Amino acid sequence: MNPAPRLNPRLVSRRAFGRASAVGVVAAGMPRVLFAEEAGQVKAPRNCSNRIAVSTYSFWRFKDDSKLSIEQCIDEAARMGFDGVEILHIQMESEEPSYLQRLKQRAWINGLDLCGFSTHQGFLSPDKEYRRKNIEHTIRTIELAYQLGIPTIRVNTGRWGTTKSFDALMANRGIEPRLSGYSDEDGFGWVIDSLEKCLPAAERCGVTLGLENHWGLGRTADGVLRIVDAVDSPWLQCTLDTGNFLEDPYESLEKMAPKTVFVQAKTYHGGGLWYSLDLDYMRIATMLDRHQYRGYISLEFEGHEDWRTALPKSLGTLRHAFS
């Protein structure tokens, strides 16, 4: 029989100090902070810092000469001082288990979290077979996130597809005509039904879906929240992208904040690839703190400047705002 495990005396003393400190606070008449075993859940203090991640998209940006491997992105993120990495699914070289485990090990050795998984899907179509394939694809990415140890994935509504060029869509500020013969009401029904079919896999894997404000029916905060509220599940919440509200962003960001589980923060050094927004990150950080958002802030750099200089500058901006 194995002997009883020996407790680390330094750990015991820290625990004892923590409990004694809590008692001292109560004795001094200050508000009492419950321990986890008493309250079930303890929220971080309001003045805590959000951890800062970087999306692998920030290195690539769909530029032909800048597609780093995920492994290179992880190494560079660690060298620059980020806390985590968000993986862009379509940037991955494989979905084989051995590749996934190598990525997980690479992040662990570098002291980084794999904190988000940015995926693409589209449910905004009257074609049932098209929606079925996208549901299956989304379930597949949920399972990939589980294997990678990633707790949340970004999901989209998809677009009507009537504007074929993304550059043209951006020139029109993300607005495109509906598919002839169909309405937004039809579209919301397709998206809600499709996401509901993904929820059993999300719950089984413990992966929270974050619906992003990302064109289509998700172009507005009201559109995103209409879907999230209709599904009404803890496994579907919001991914908030600071750069995808082109008109009056702060009011829209505020609407989504209470249900946000992941934040993607845009910067545009060297001028935006499609547009630039002058975002006040101190204001955004204050707003998110007011809504007790404690999760990751993931940098999505979307400018023309070389990532080698733009990402450290962006990290400095976000550290300053979210500390």
Residue with tokens 């547009």: 275
Whole-model pTM: value is 0.84
pLDDT confidence bin for 80, thresholds 50/70/90? very high
* Cα–Cα distance measured from residue 318 to residue 323, given in angstroms and rounded to the nearest whole number: 8
* Cα–Cα distance measured from residue 49 to residue 27, given in angstroms and rounded to the nearest whole number: 28
Report the residue count for the chain: 323
Task: Find the farthest-apart pair of alpha carbons in the chain and give their distance in angstroms, rounded.
Answer: 74
Domain boundaries of the chain, sorted by first residue: 7-42, 45-322
Per the model's pLDDT, the better-predicted residue between 180 and 247 turns out to be: 180
* Cα–Cα distance measured from residue 86 to residue 118, given in angstroms and rounded to the nearest whole number: 7
Query: What pLDDT, on a 0 to 100 scale, did the predictor assign at position 169?
Result: 87
> Does pLDDT of 320 surpass 90?
yes
Fold classification of 45-322 is TIM Barrel (3.20.20)
244-272 average pLDDT score: 96
